Chain A
Amino acid sequence: MNETIDQGPSRPPPGRLFRKYLYSIVALAFAALAINTGFDVWFSYREQKQLLAATQREQAASAAIQIGQFIGQIESQIRWLARLPPELSTNEDQRLNAIRLLRLSPAIAEIAELDSQGIERVRVSRRVADRIGSKADLSASPAFRGANESRAYYGPVYFFGDTEPYMTLSTRGTGRNPDVIVAEVNLRFIWDLVTGIRVGNTGKAYVVDRMGVLIAHPDLWRALQRSDLSGHADVRAALDGVGPPSGGLVKEDLTGQRVLSTYATVPSLGWLVFVELPLSEAYAPIYASIGRSTFLLVALLAGAVLVSLFLSRRMTGPIQLLTQGARRIGSGDLGLRLAIKTGDELEALGDQFNRMAAQLRHSYATLERKVIERTSELEKARDQALAEHDAAERARSVAVAANETKSRFLAVVSHELRTPLNGVMGVLQLLDDGSLGEAQRRHLTTAAASGETLIALVDAILEYARLEASTEALEPRSFRLDQLIETAADLMRPQALGKGLAFDLVCDVSVKTTVHGDPVRLNRILLNLIGNAIKFTPAGGITVNATADRQDDHILLRITVRDTGIGIAPDMHERIFEDFVQADDSIARRFGGTGLGLAIARRLSRLMGGGLTVASTPGAGSTFTFEVPLGEAASSVAQGAVAPPTRQLRVLLVDDDPVNCEVGEAILRRLGHHPTIARNGASAVALAGEQSFDVILMDLHMPDMDGVEAASRIGKLDLPRMPRIIAVTADVSSGARERLTDAGIVRVVSKPILINALREAIDDDLKVEPAAVQLSAGGLIDRHFLDDQRELLGSAQIAKLHHLLGETTENLIDDIANAAATGDRKRLARSAHQLGSAASALGLVRLLERCREVELAASLMSLAECKDAARELAALQKASTSALNDLLRPVDSR
């Protein structure tokens, strides 16, 4: 109910429906009224005209009768005179009777009494003197003849004195010799009659004679003018005997006024009485009727408009209410209730609307409840899903953590294994100082190759893991192909020979070339294949064939390893390349092995763009064929003999590992460069700021800051000459490389440092200028370094190194003393170097520095100086060793 109350005062303006209804009803009412009024007016008009014409005809007839009576009265008067018995009267009496008649009838101007012969007896006149007994013979006059021929004679109208209409009237008496009375009648007296005829208010009647001459008219002067109206069409028609039109004739009268005209004929006289009514008056009632009808029409129309307004409002009001209700329901106001009280279908419709709204409201309520239910269900499901997701996420985190643990484990393992190997490799390389004999060198080379193989083997697991993760990247460089194969063969030959097997290496001439490829991976494949052959061949021999076909832009290396071993069943030909699969379970028991070798070999061969296949017959041996494309090397390199560097470079070696530092430094010196050591990132940055370097070899894994950060800090020093930074890392994954690239480091040397790899890396450098090597001075022992080493390598390793250092330094001090005493400066320098290198492994920095200084200055020192240097070194060694012992003892005791 509130809605209706609200809508009351702010009722919306009538809409189209309202106008439509309004116009329709108005049009209907108007049409009905207009048609009704039109017909009414039309019939009324016709009836009125008919009535008017009839009335006018009546008036004309009445006027004609009056005129006829006027004449008839005169006629009867003179007839009375004529019928007086002749013998009853003398002439004088006749005259008196005539005078009496004149007195009685003013229209009679003159009376003449004729005897039956037409002789005039008496003539009495108003204008002239009376005549008595004139005996004038009037028997030939038309009046006498006319009276005798008929009962009465009506003469034609004539005008006396030019203006006065007169008519002669005569009658005859009765008896044997009847007298004839002739009367001259002044027709002007009809004027009184004609004037007295009322035709409406302004209408008039007039009389024309048989000739069409006007004889009586209310305007007297018109009659006096002797107006001949026979020229008028209606008068002419009337004179010709045509009856008057039933509806009257509309014409212009003598004054030019439009009149409704009709006429009647005066009996016996033949005169015409015209009755004319001006149209303005004749139609006035009609116009008044039309006016009344029009007024009524307008009034009714106004009423109809009002009624239409009322009806339209009544009709459209509920509809508008419905429309508004529908709109509000449409806009969601379902609480609305329409209050339409018209008591008809509209109210029913409104009720239906209300029911519909209620239904909708109910439906919406149900729907909302359902929505709430569904929403809560969904929320539950979502919570559950989230919980599951969290669980999955936790599981994944655990898995990731486990994987990371595994990776860390692998990294630690590799590090643990590599570090001692690195030492071995370094020492082996240092042994070749150019003074070795051929046999020694061969042994040394073999040892070095074995070391490298060992490193490679250690890396196998890591590599496999990386391969599995597709993070393995090749490290191509140039190398002598024949040397690689021969070294591998030399490495394996003792095993074969030791097993009593024949071992043949057949190298094609084409193999004697330098190629660009990944020698480490290639070597690994080769060693794997030969090792397998030896392992699975109980008797017979092994033949290794190597050919290198020079193709368009590369060299296709093809190596076959044939054995006379147990062979492989055909169904196992492919499976043996899978992970941890061996031809037979028994094989594992009989031959051992991880089962990873062939898998890695094939993966590596495929990584290099080649392939590895097998052909075998069980019991008849196997033939593994290995094909791989290799790039052509730009220049030949020789292993063993180190080529002099193109230039001496100042190199900053950044590594926290003293052994690595020692090895690295030695290698750099070997390569003819001037190395400077920085054992952590901060000092590296400081040194880079203080001195000018051509190259910085940056270890990535350092305790204070990692190599990438150190590199970026150096980049920010805004040095006049930016040194080239080469990363030294065991992590050669593509992710690590990207990180390096972002820090501006494009060159990477893998750990452990191989001399050729390092040379190649450095040789890529542009021209650099040599710079003075400046070593940082400090305490006797870099405790930080030592702690790091002890933490990294473990106390046992450190103890071992400590012991080794003790022995080595004692011997080297002796050597130095001897060299100084003998003045062998070269030896002095070498020994000093060896001392420093050894000292560096455990952080005896002062000793290392001094050794380096002595080493550098040895060739220029005097003998005394040499001795002093030797003594100083000895003292320093003693002090350092003592300090080291102090430092390590508590550790050892723990």
Chain B
Amino acid sequence: MTERPPALAVDRRGFIRLAGAAAAGWVALGATSDRMRIVASLTALPLDDELTRRSMIDSATSRLGGLIVGLRQRGWVEGVNFRLELRSSFGPPGRMKAAIQELLELKPDVILTGSTVETAAVLATTKTIPIVFATANDPVGNGFVESLAHPGGNVTGFTSSTAEMGGKWLQLVREAVPDISRVGALYNPSTTPRAGRFFLDSIEQEAAECGVSVIPVPVDAPADIDEAVRRFAEQPKGAMIALVDSFLVVNRQAVVAAAAKYRLPTIYPFHYFMDAGGLMSYGPTLEVRSADYVDLILRGTKAGDLPVQSPRKYELLINRTVARSLGLSIPFTLLARADEIRE
């Protein structure tokens, strides 16, 4: 026995693990049908993004990984009783449409969408397949749901930052950089809610109170990001707010790189940007939430009966190294508020 080749032992352990997981899935599912379920996911990120790469799925740190881990906890084992079909809308125009068509042809039991744009596109093609959106800043305003408590129809999901968060971002970036006189709002009008106005209102309101001018910095293409940031950074005493925008998430490396390149203090809405080397971020904590709803839907609950969930926690992340490189000193109030301070 001791002379058994290690490779075989590993294989066998893997097999046993898989079999055990499968068995657990079967047992946990109990009365549910033994039909293989199809969970479709449409994301704006490219499939080679580290957030969507399959190798990263097992970790709960990403949204997709959280889903798979959460489903496994609820008895759904990928490859045993459900199949995850991942499609990306990243690419040339028309790519998204093709991706949606591919997913629909699979007759999925539920479709997960990444952001408002994908949600709207999928909703436009089906009114029967349950849709769970991962983030939507204004589902009622977008016409996705009737109300947050009782969405109705075939869609439910999770909201991200509320509209007044714009003022919060401005306050926080001002605490880090107290002497700014202008603040830029970076967004892609085609992918951010209400073409940026969703957050700009609260930003402008807050800016008016503290005597800061707001300058929208819209970008349409990844190649324009550097130029737009450079152009805003030409003026002194400026700071920038990256709005909730899937385009910015997809191109977060470019955004962070441009901000660093032009020494522009920027606050981001998600911690993904911090991973890319951003200065600070303030946004809802990623909690495993979609798995709960996917499970309920796979077990027969109508998506429209499930209330749209709002974020419960917000977290402030600050990278001191980046701050130092920008010559900034983080005040006590900000440090006291920060949930994580990276060096």
Task: Please give the residue numbers on chain A whose beta carbons come within 8 Å of chain B beta carbons, in ascending order.
Answer: 92, 95-96, 99-100, 102-103, 106, 125-130, 159, 161-164, 186, 188-189, 220-221, 224-226
Contact = CB atoms under 8 A, between A and B. Distances in A.
B312 A225 contact: no
Contacts of A100: 336
Contacts of B293: 221
A53 to B, nearest CB: 28
A125 B147 CA distance: 25
Nearest to A131: B209
A159 B310 CA distance: 12
Nearest to A192: B312
Given A128-B168, A220-B292, A221-B306, A162 B149 contact: yes
Given A96-B336, A127-B314, A224-B149, A161 B309 contact: no
Given A126-B168, A128-B165, A224-B148, 13 more contacts: A92-B333, A95-B333, A99-B333, A100-B336, A103-B336, A103-B339, A106-B313, A127-B162, A127-B165, A129-B171, A129-B206, A188-B312, A225-B149
B337 interface: yes
Given A127-B164, A127-B168, A128-B168, A224 B336 contact: no
A129 B307 contact: no
Contact of B309 (A96, A126, A189, A220): A220
B13 interface: no
19 contacts: A95-B333, A96-B332, A96-B333, A96-B336, A100-B336, A103-B337, A103-B339, A125-B168, A126-B168, A161-B159, A161-B162, A162-B149, A163-B148, A164-B310, A220-B292, A224-B309, A225-B149, A225-B150, A225-B307
Given A162-B149, A221-B306, A186 B312 contact: yes
Given A95-B333, A127-B165, A189 B148 contact: no
Nearest to A189: B312
A128 B164 contact: yes
A163 B206 contact: no
Contacts, number: 68
B312 A163 contact: no
A80 B313 CA distance: 23
Nearest to A130: B171
Nearest to A126: B314
B332 A163 contact: no
Contacts of B170: 129
A130 to B, nearest CB: 6
Contacts of B167: 128-129
Nearest to B306: A221
B171 to A, nearest CB: 4
B39 interface: no
B337 A102 contact: yes
Interface in B202-253: 202, 206
B44 interface: no
A188 B170 CA distance: 27
A301 B248 CA distance: 78
A155 B261 CA distance: 50
Given A96-B332, A225-B150, A163 B164 contact: no
B299 to A, nearest CB: 11
Interface residues of B, number: 30
A102 B308 CA distance: 25
Nearest to A95: B333
A509 B131 CA distance: 172
Contacts of B306: 221
B333 A221 contact: no
Counting from the closest, the 8 A-B pairs by CB-CB distance are A129-B171, A162-B148, A224-B307, A129-B167, A163-B148, A128-B164, A99-B336, A225-B307
Contact of A163 (B171, B307, B313): B307
Interface string B310-333: 101110000000000000000011
Contacts of A102: 337
Nearest to A92: B333
Nearest to B172: A129
Contacts of A226: 149
B111 to A, nearest CB: 19
Interface in B166-210: 167-168, 170-171, 202, 206
A217 to B, nearest CB: 12
Contacts of A99: 333, 336-337
A220 B293 CA distance: 10
A590 B140 CA distance: 188
Nearest to B145: A162
A164 B149 CA distance: 9
Contacts of A164: 310, 312
Contacts of B148: 161-163, 224
Contacts of A126: 168, 314
Contacts of A188: 312
Contacts of A130: 171
A731 to B, nearest CB: 132
Contacts of B296: 221
Nearest to B307: A224
Interface string B280-322: 0000000000001100100000000011111011100000000
Contacts of A161: 148, 159, 162, 310
Q: Which of A95, A106, A128 has the most CB of B within 10 A?
A: A128
A106 B336 CA distance: 14
Interface in B137-172: 147-150, 159, 162, 164-165, 167-168, 170-171
A224 B309 CA distance: 7
A128 B293 CA distance: 29
Nearest to B162: A127
Nearest to A107: B312
A163 B308 contact: yes
A44 B155 CA distance: 50
B314 to A, nearest CB: 5
Contacts of B168: 125-129
Contacts of B312: 164, 186, 188-189
